[in-house]
Structure 1
Amino acid sequence: MSNNEDMVKLYSGRILALAASIPHAERLDQPQVSAKKRSPLCGSTVTVDLSLENGRISRFGQDVKACALGQASASILGKKAIGRTRDEIETARDQLRDMLKSDGPVPTAPFEEYEVLIPARDYKNRHASIMLALEATLAAFDEASATA
């Protein structure tokens, strides 16, 4: 497959549609906690604001400055973040990492839409950007625990 064909496969219409419609793509007024993660390789950043109730995300906001793959990942997370626990986000992060780095299976429900990013397996320089939204969300959970 030519390099151009690889890029077309990588930046599919589904990925571009996800990147163009990120849910909760604004910072929260008065969040309980915030965390920012940055990929040193590409400079992408994601800042996540959370409010928690009974260990679950009750409000979620994100500011995403990333490539289309990082934006698509943030979009998938944004659709499913409300109501999730730290353990659920950590499981999604671990499963996504395994899918990208070890040819593991697609993350389980409710995060199965990450399958759209399977073509990114071969682009290791994009993995950090793809992981940022989940990493920032976990960092925000950890900040909440540290200040509780």
Structure 2
Amino acid sequence: MPGDTDLIKLYSARILELAADIPLHQRLDAPGYSVKKRSPLCGSTVTVDVAMKDGKVSAFGQDVKACALGQASASVVGGAIVGCTPDQIMQARDELRAMLKDDGPVPAAPFDGLEVLRPAVAYKNRHASILLTLDAASEAVTHLAQTQTA
């Protein structure tokens, strides 16, 4: 496990900046679907509300109770998700997971801002919190896509 100095470096100014300014941090009044996810390891929780139109996210809201890394992830996702298809969101989730767990490449645009979280690769106990928003959003858009085509 990396030392205390490395942990302090992990919380860069950019991560703290993102965590302090999360876009779309209000819940939606009339979401198409809502999903709440919790990290059992650290207790972080994220609730996302999603609405879709014409196969793309038309509205997004989130309530984030997470560490600065989870908040930074939610900030990047909140700034990028409107206008995305379910496939783009699930791809971003899979790419973020691969980046964290396998030191894979940064997620593709418009989620490439998640690169700021690359230093968290060494902190496996933080991965679940970082993945919460995209995990919840992926579940929500999958549900909406299935119900809209049924």
Q: How many residues align?
A: 147
The alignment-based identity, stated in percent, is 61
Aligned-residue RMSD, C-alpha:
1.2
By how many angstroms is 1:84 displaced? 0.4
Aligned match of 1:139: 139
CA contact (8 A) 2:56 2:84 kept: yes
Aligned match of 1:126: 126
Aligned match of 1:47: 47
CA distance in 1, matches of 2:119, 2:27: 30
CA distance in 1, matches of 2:28, 2:109: 26
TM-score (norm 2): 0.94
Residue 32 of structure 2 corresponds to residue 32 of structure 1: yes
By how many angstroms is 1:111 displaced? 1.2
Aligned match of 1:82: 82
CA distance in 2, matches of 1:147, 1:87: 16
Aligned match of 1:105: 105
User: Mean alpha-carbon deviation: is it higher for 14-23 or for 138-147?
Assistant: 138-147
By how many angstroms is 1:146 displaced? 4.7
Q: Which amino acid aligns with 1:138?
A: S
> Which consecutive residues of structure 1, in runs of 5 or more, have no partner in the other structure?
none
Aligned match of 2:66: 66
CA distance in 2, matches of 1:12, 1:105: 20
C-alpha distance after superposition, 1:91-144 (max 9, x if no partner): 111111111000111111111111111110000000000000000001111232
CA distance in 2, matches of 1:127, 1:10: 13
CA distance in 2, matches of 1:61, 1:99: 25
CA distance in 1, matches of 2:107, 2:132: 16
Q: Which amino acid aligns with 1:15?
A: I
User: Mean alpha-carbon deviation: is it higher for 71-80 or for 104-113?
Assistant: 104-113
CA distance in 2, matches of 1:102, 1:83: 28
By how many angstroms is 1:28 displaced? 0.4
Q: Which amino acid aligns with 1:86?
A: P
- Secondary structure of the 1:47 match is strand
Which ranges of 4 or more aligned residues in structure 1 deviate by more than 4 Å?
none
